[in-house]
Amino acid sequence: MTIKHLKERTALVTGSVQGIGLSIAKCLAAAGARIGVHGLATAGQIEAALAEVRAAGAPDARFFDADLRDVAAIETMMAQAQAWGPLDILVNNAGMQKTAPLAEVTADLWDAIIAVNLTAAFHTMRLALPAMAARGYGRVVNIASVHGLVASKDKGPYVASKFGLVGLTRVAALEYASAGSRATGGVTVNAIGPGWTETSLIEPQIEARAIITGGDRDAGIASLLSEKQPSLRMSDPSEIGELAVFLCHRQAHNITGATIPVDGGWTAQ
């Protein structure tokens, strides 16, 4: 039986209508948290995500609609979440990526990726952390990437945004390290750096590799991962979610400022 150590806590997970974000939301729900779901989605996708979170164990769930490129929209969302909460857990998961050589990256593409992946996290953190500190408990988990620790070609804006998110995580961790106590749980700010993770976004790449390897999906995955990820295994999104849940535990009060790679050895090379 799952221990409900997040009972009576409220969490907001950005970009949580699908993929890693939804898995994180469900894992937090299973630990007893009320869940704020966020994302760009249709009415049907929103209802489906809320239903999954409630089924996972959330005593309450609510959808928050905000374009993370719009500071005013972020401020409105955070005010609404704090009023619904108070907000104990913030997971900055929303992100975007588009590959292109530096010479082909447009100003608009750069601005959009930095806005969603980095600037939005800055605004949610600046609005959430003071109240967390005042209550003596708070958890910020930023979903960075292996690309917040190492680079790859054709991902300039994405890598820059994720390196920036890792740096921002460390600064915030230092600024709030002394807030609260061991008894209250303190305020921590950490990042998770997923490597290859099995979501619908990378399914086309898996299928392409599977065709090359004679239709064997597992062989296709191994071929894809062999370039970077030594384990030759992808992570399941729920594994990222369970790590986020652990970081929210009161006993994780002294884990702060860390970026934890979940990358099958990618960054150990």
Catalytic residue ranges: 158
Residue type, 208: A
Do 12 and 64 form a contact (C-beta atoms < 8 A)? yes
Query: What would the two tokens of residue 177 be?
Result: 């390290």
Cβ–Cβ < 8 Å for 235, 20: no
Cis peptide upstream of residue 157 (ω within 30 degrees of 0): no
Q: Are 78 and 126 in contact (CB under 8 A)?
A: no
138: enclosing H helix or E strand: strand 137-143
Angle between helix 71-84 and 120-135 (nearest 10): 30
Q: What crossing angle do the helices spanning 217-225 and 203-212 adopt, rounded to 10°?
A: 110
